[in-house]
Amino acid sequence: MLDVFLVQMDCGNFDKVRKLLAKANLQKNGLIILPEMFATGYIPKNPADYAEDFSCAAAGNTAHFLSELANETGCTVMGAGIGKGADGKLTNHSSAYQPGQTSEFASYNKVHPFFPELGEFESGADVSLFEINEWNVSSVICYDLRFPELFRSAVKKGAQLITVQAAWPKVRIEHWETLLKARAIENQVYIAAVNAVSAGENSNVDEKNRLGGTSMIITPQGEVISRGSCNCEEVVHNSLDISSLISYRKAFPVLNGIV
């Protein structure tokens, strides 16, 4: 079993993450997932001012926090922020830290930057695959959800769980729900998707920029087994059973010849 905790939150400081998790029934060896650019919001003015090195806990403030949180909770922690590529261009970066480790455990750079990101953010090369508690996991970020070939690439690599970290607007939340279910069904994978939400001081932002929450955990059959609200900060949790995924793929082998 793998316990997954989606921290649905407005952008804020690191203490907010700790306060939200303090209300959750955390289990050690779980997976905690934070939204896209959770500490800065999407996208801050002058994003280069917020670019960080995520390679080790001593390299940047966000990396240090992720490492600390992993040690405090006994869970793998996935955060997302603004990284810097080898050529100096910015990357929309997802970073994972594990308890007792001071180096980044796994990482991913958003392959499909959203239109406003173009020119400032470079595209990542491909999805990556990493293992947590015998689960093969891949991660994508927000706008990547609209590109099914990226999810299929993850499944071809062996993904059984795909995480989605997002800052998805409420005006297109039906797209969010529909596409997440489709990606789970067509690839026979679990989906754990955390979205930022406009709450608190940002609850009165205009509709175009309001973030829609509705974080979800979805089975390979497309069943939503956990769902967040569209307007509240909260932790969405469920326990995932890898044996049911394996059994389902054998019983309905649509991926034969693909994986």
Collapsing DSSP states into helix, strand and coil, what is residue 16? helix
Report how far residue 132's alpha carbon sits from residue 126's, in angstroms, rounded to the nearest whole number. Answer: 20
Show Cβ contacts of residue 40 under 8 Å, excluding neighbours closer than 6 positions.
11, 47, 50, 81, 82
Arithmetic mean of pLDDT over the chain: 94
CA distance 37 to 27: 25
pLDDT in tens, 196-254: 999 866 666 778 889 999 999 999 999 999 999 999 999 999 999 999 999 999 999 99
Q: What is the pLDDT of residues 157-192, one digit of tens each?
A: 999 999 999 999 999 999 999 999 999 999 999 999
Phi, psi (5° rounding) for residue 18? -65, -40
Angle between helix 14-22 and 61-73 (nearest 10): 20
Each residue's pLDDT tens digit, 109-145: 999 999 767 678 999 999 999 999 999 999 999 999 9
What is the residue-wise DSSP string for 162-217? Answer: EEEEE--BGGGHHHHHHHHHHHHHHHT-EEEEEE-B--GGGTTS-TTT-BB---EE
Q: What's the rounded mean pLDDT across residues 71-96? A: 93
Residue 9: its pLDDT value, please?
97
